[in-house]
Chain A
């Protein structure tokens, strides 16, 4: 039984020098059979397991992770949360996620540090500006808060931005989603893991999946580093490795795996209390509670599974950041890393049945999966439990590449992917 976290628990444990906190989740050996196996112990996979247990009463579930929880893209992203997507299908999906974010700390009894500090998306030229207005109007028609800021209003909100207009990237305006913001990425994985475990889900780390056992087009189970585990249904949520797992199951995906990189600076006093994104120049900036600038860059242009990212991309992003925020020119970067993102041709995810019966894939989130974590888990749990998609993710099927019903969020989704 997981003990509730509260101020009283904190005081009680303080009296024993914090030496008696119970383990947050178990580390069981896998059972021979489960109702559902989720492959991938990142935020999306753990959220899926949690909602399977909570919303659908399916608790005979295992989450299998090759490394450690949240060690992939969950721990490598720039933690931005927003829902200002252009198309109706995406807006509904990401807004559903944002609404779950708004109650998540309370629901999980775990502080995910969701901070609705607002997200600004900048326009640098007339075309950007027109697209920005189009998206703001589309958002508002879908009931998503979105407003336009003039350079003068931006100046009031972000005084350190260079708005003189004579630089390389003049700022002509911005969209603002006040309900957007950031969250603590590790806490999201840990919070979901803790509550999933409390409901009986087995979380099995350091257990790579090496193959699938498929008979007559139907999934029987997964081959793993800890032997064969039988399962009635299998859900795969492995981001950059989606194609690798699909190849094991005998089909291909329309996915390109690219390293997306991010950097953090040395910690400084608070200078920016919102999130500034500029899709056109591939630079996203926010400041963490520790004072570090968290900077998101673009993707490499070629397929890569090395979690590093290419230097020209770093250079381009930092050049843009220095141009927009001249104050940062003498700041030093402390760390740089890459995460392998699964980009789709239409920059929208695939949450879908597959050619193999009872095998489901949730992938293709590309550069923007973190913000969707609760919503992604919620609809994927529904899809696995019912064997068919929820209306929110029906359009995000693998079949859309055959029918041509693409959800083209390239550029439309406020960032140039």
Chain B
């Protein structure tokens, strides 16, 4: 069970949240110019990192606001929580094999 520190409501149980997978995927600026392969990459391809992953969460059963989380996907340790639209904090993005 994760205890997720919502930046607006404080620490709450994971059951209150919904998941949005990888963060910092920008919607293409000029969709008309995209090839099928570019669309596939935007819609489907994800880093799915084993290690520190930058991901989106929404506090569905609380303030209903989205935010970003840096979480280690093996230890599940939450290393940072930051607002949508801000760059990721300065932490080492360690990965494992």
- Tell me whether A and B are bound partners: yes
Give A contacts to B, CB under 8 Å. 208-210, 241, 243-244, 247-248, 252-257, 301-306, 310-312, 345, 401-404
- Asked if A304 and B36 make an inter-chain contact with CB atoms under 8 angstroms apart, the answer reads no
Residues of B within 8 A of A209 (CB): 97
| One of A241, A303, A306 near B53 (C-beta < 8 A) | A303
Query: Does chain A have a CB within 8 A of B33?
Result: no
Known: A302-B19, A306-B75. A241 touches B50 (CB 8 A): yes
Q: B36: nearest residue on chain A (CB-CB)? A: A402
Known: A302-B55, A303-B53, A310-B1. A252 touches B97 (CB 8 A): no
Quote the shortest CB–CB distance from A208 to chain B (angstroms).
Answer: 7
| One of A252, A301, A402 near B46 (C-beta < 8 A) | A252
A143 to B45, CA, bound (A): 35
CB-defined A-B contacts under 8 Å, sample of 23? A208-B97, A243-B47, A243-B50, A244-B50, A247-B47, A247-B95, A252-B46, A253-B48, A254-B46, A256-B48, A302-B2, A303-B21, A304-B73, A304-B74, A304-B76, A305-B73, A306-B73, A306-B76, A310-B14, A312-B14, A312-B15, A401-B45, A402-B40
Query: Does chain A have a CB within 8 A of B37?
Result: yes
Quote the shortest CB–CB distance from B28 to chain A (angstroms).
Answer: 15
Quote the shortest CB–CB distance from B22 to chain A (angstroms).
Answer: 8
- Asked if B18 and A301 make an inter-chain contact with CB atoms under 8 angstroms apart, the answer reads yes
Residues of B within 8 A of A257 (CB): 48, 50, 73
- Asked if B97 and A310 make an inter-chain contact with CB atoms under 8 angstroms apart, the answer reads no
A345 to B45, CA, bound (A): 10
Residues of B within 8 A of A306 (CB): 73-76
Closest 3 CB pairs of A and B: A254-B44, A243-B48, A252-B45
A254-B44, A257-B48 known; 16 new pairs, CB 8 Å cut-off, are A210-B97, A243-B50, A244-B50, A244-B95, A244-B96, A252-B41, A252-B48, A302-B2, A302-B19, A303-B48, A304-B76, A305-B50, A306-B74, A306-B75, A403-B36, A404-B36
Residues of B within 8 A of A403 (CB): 36
A308 to B96, CA, bound (A): 18
Quote the shortest CB–CB distance from B69 to chain A (angstroms).
Answer: 9
Residues of B within 8 A of A243 (CB): 46-50
Known: A312-B1, A403-B36. A301 touches B50 (CB 8 A): no
Q: B57: nearest residue on chain A (CB-CB)? A: A302
Residues of A within 8 A of B36 (CB): 402-404
Residues of B within 8 A of A248 (CB): 97
- Asked if B73 and A254 make an inter-chain contact with CB atoms under 8 angstroms apart, the answer reads no
Quote the shortest CB–CB distance from B93 to chain A (angstroms).
Answer: 13
Quote the shortest CB–CB distance from A260 to chain B (angstroms).
Answer: 15
Quote the shortest CB–CB distance from A245 to chain B (angstroms).
Answer: 8
A402 to B49, CA, bound (A): 22
- Asked if A402 and B73 make an inter-chain contact with CB atoms under 8 angstroms apart, the answer reads no
Residues of B within 8 A of A253 (CB): 45, 48
Q: B44: nearest residue on chain A (CB-CB)? A: A254
Residues of A within 8 A of B76 (CB): 304, 306
- Asked if B21 and A256 make an inter-chain contact with CB atoms under 8 angstroms apart, the answer reads yes
A225 to B37, CA, bound (A): 35
Residues of B within 8 A of A255 (CB): 46, 48
A190 to B6, CA, bound (A): 47
A124 to B78, CA, bound (A): 38
Quote the shortest CB–CB distance from A244 to chain B (angstroms).
Answer: 5
Residues of A within 8 A of B21 (CB): 256, 303
| One of A301, A303, A311, A404 near B73 (C-beta < 8 A) | A303
- Asked if A252 and B50 make an inter-chain contact with CB atoms under 8 angstroms apart, the answer reads no
Residues of A within 8 A of B50 (CB): 241, 243-244, 257, 305
- Asked if A254 and B45 make an inter-chain contact with CB atoms under 8 angstroms apart, the answer reads yes
Q: A255: nearest residue on chain B (CB-CB)? A: B48
Residues of A within 8 A of B18 (CB): 301
Residues of A within 8 A of B95 (CB): 244, 247
Quote the shortest CB–CB distance from A352 to chain B (angstroms).
Answer: 14
Known: A257-B48, A312-B1, A403-B36. A301 touches B74 (CB 8 A): no
Q: A256: nearest residue on chain B (CB-CB)? A: B48
Residue-wise interface mask of B (59-97) relative to A, using a CB-CB cutoff of 8 A (1 in contact, 0 not): 000000000000101111000000000000000000111
A254 to B22, CA, bound (A): 12
Residues of A within 8 A of B96 (CB): 244, 305
Residues of A within 8 A of B74 (CB): 304-306
Q: B46: nearest residue on chain A (CB-CB)? A: A256
A221 to B40, CA, bound (A): 29
Scoring B14, B44, B73 by chain A CB atoms within 10 A of each residue's CB, the highest score goes to: B44
Residues of A within 8 A of B14 (CB): 302, 310, 312
